[in-house]
């Protein structure tokens, strides 16, 4: 029954909505990660450096800027890999159900 309904849905709309959600997420996620990593590093920073704004881009704070960018880059890379692997797994299961779903149903009718 489920495979009959799934046959009407092609992979394009499923992939479209998945990628739409990812693209909407990444715009906000990158800023959030950068801000969070920056605030964690600011807790370790010397007095007088209290914001993650223009003061971080001054020459004397270059080591903090490099640390923030490196850590934020790592978090974003891990998140991208996780999202990609999750999407691949969903598409593999979807493809398996569409291609083998009919044979599984017909084999179950014999019991």
User: What is the per-residue pLDDT across 61-85, written as a single tens digit (0 to 9) for each?
Assistant: 788 888 888 999 999 899 888 878 8
Q: C-alpha dihedral over 82, 87, 90, 93, to 10 degrees?
A: -100
Residue 105: pLDDT over 60: no
DSSP string for residues in 48-85: T---SSGGGGSGGGHHHHHHHHHHHHHHHHHHHHHHHH
Q: Are 55 and 49 in contact (CB under 8 A)?
A: yes
Residue 6: pLDDT over 70: no
């Amino acid at each position: 029954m489920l495979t009959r309904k799934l046959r009407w849905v092609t992979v394009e709309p499923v992939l479209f909505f998945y990628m739409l959600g990812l693209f909407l997420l990444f715009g906000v996620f990158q800023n959030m990660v950068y801000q969070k990593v920056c605030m964690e590093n600011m807790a370790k920073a010397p007095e007088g450096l209290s914001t993650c704004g223009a003061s971080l881009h001054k020459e004397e704070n270059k080591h903090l800027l490099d640390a923030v960018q490196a850590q934020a880059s790592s978090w974003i890379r891990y998140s991208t890999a996780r999202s990609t692997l999750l999407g691949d797994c969903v598409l593999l299961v979807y493809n398996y159900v569409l291609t083998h779903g009919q044979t599984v149903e017909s084999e179950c009718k014999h019991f």
